[in-house]
Amino acid sequence: MLPAILTSLLVFLSGIFIDRGLDEDRANSAPRSLSFQLRHLHAVSRSAQVVFSDVRPQALDVHSNKSNTDLYTIRSRRLTSFRPPSFQEFSRTRSLYFGQSQLQWNEEEVIGPDVESRETLLELAKMTNNAYLCDDDPDWYDLGDSWNDSYPFGWEPDADGFRGHVFATPDNETVVLSIKGTSAGVFGGGGPTSKKDKLNDNLLFSCCCARIDWTWTTVCGCYRGGWKCDTECLDKALIEESLFYSIGTNLYNNLTYMYPNSNIWVIGHSLGGALASLLGATFGAPAVAFESPGERMAARRLHLPSPPSTLHITHVYHSADPIAMGTCNGVLSSCALAGYAMESRCHLGKTIFYDTVSNLSWTVDIRTHGIVNVIEKLLSQPWAPSAEIGREVPELKTEDDCVECFSWEFGDFPASSFRSNRQGGG
């Protein structure tokens, strides 16, 4: 009798402890909100060095668009990410051209933003829209020669290239790198970097060297007449000429030097969003991109080793934005008139797509591309089609059937044969 009572008691007690353990596991895995504060501003110095500027507490109200508080509260969730063993190993595999299968990716569970929360997307969008450093604000500093690579062209603090902010939680557990790209030449104006920006944009996001028609001067020599483009030439030109991705990896590596034990997220708008996505694919960092041009083609041409999954990358865009939709092309398009060939349309990872043309009667217009428009007119109020089915945002989907540059024929078309054909036809 006594052994039976003891057995029952042990079963009862073990059940209590198991339930407690399960409750603790549920609590640990449940979404929790993280509070972020602006810590640094980042750019590139006149000597092409990645530089950071600490933001003093008294300056927070100057750099923040928030009222009454300088904190951004964001709901998080657990997600699966794939990281390379090291950036050096990633770069070595990339240099092998088609050696992606040789890289051993590490599968990890990390904390990322809860992108199915409208408030989370709204806060992240506001973080990408932060004002830039004023001329009379704190001095810039770098991290030493061992952590900064030199490039022939950089982001000067008074220029309009890629730059942005660094946010962190009070305990530095999670850091957010915000990158705000610019399309100043598209919207009018420009600046000291606009010419180089245009070169990089046209290399990354055009089908073939920004060949729109015979009146255009191409940005690389890979066009082979008709609708033919030499693939090897194009890949080589993009890797050698474009600074976009190289500056991004340098920036990320500098940040990991500053925060070696932190979980890093990358966010951005427009071209900054494309860079955020490429960095997410490279380092396995959770990434959220707003109104980004399609970067899947650029990732392939840059020979980035492909992780088993890129579902830790999220794109957010709407149907009235011709840049994100890949429709800002053609001789008479707004982009082409400004000298940009924005022809890519396929995105990595998952997409949250707002059909504003059908549901809000928006007109397709490049002026809807701005992040302020997304904040004030899209994310600041519930999205009715999603609310009707009990969701906060549109359902996340992958762009599996996306096709771009379908008119072009890519292959081995040596320049010598192209010149011979032209001479023979002349």
- Percent composition of the chain: helix, strand, coil (DSSP 3-state, to 5): 40, 20, 40
Q: Which helix (H) or strand (E) holds 409?
A: strand 409-411
Residues paired with residue 317 on neighbouring β-strands, in sequence order: 353
- Tokens at residue 322, please? 């011709």
The conformation of residue 151, written as its DSSP 8-state character, comes to -
Token pair of 226 as six digits: 């008709």
Instruction: Please give the DSSP secondary-structure letter assigned to residue 226.
Output: T
Q: Which of 109, 117, 110 is nearest to 33 (CA)?
A: 117
Place of tokens 């004002």: 131
Per the listing, tokens 């030109």 go with 237
* Inter-residue contact 294 to 321 (CB < 8 Å): no
- Provide the greatest CA pair distance for the chain: 107
206, 242, 270, 334: the catalytic one is 270
CA–CA dist 138, 133 (Å, integer): 8
Cβ-contact 125, 374 below 8 angstroms: yes
Say whether 53 is catalytic.
no
**E strand spans, 116-245:** 163-168, 174-180, 228-230
Tokens of 277: 């996505």
What letter represents residue 57's amino acid? P
Residue 316: in which H helix or E strand, if any?
A: strand 313-318
The answer to whether 274 touches 292, Cβ cutoff 8 Å, is yes
Place of tokens 């008074």: 158
**Token pair recorded at residue 36:** 């972020």
Q: Which two tokens stand for residue 70?
A: 């300088």
Cβ proximity of 289 and 274 under 8 Å: yes
Q: Which residues are catalytic?
A: 270
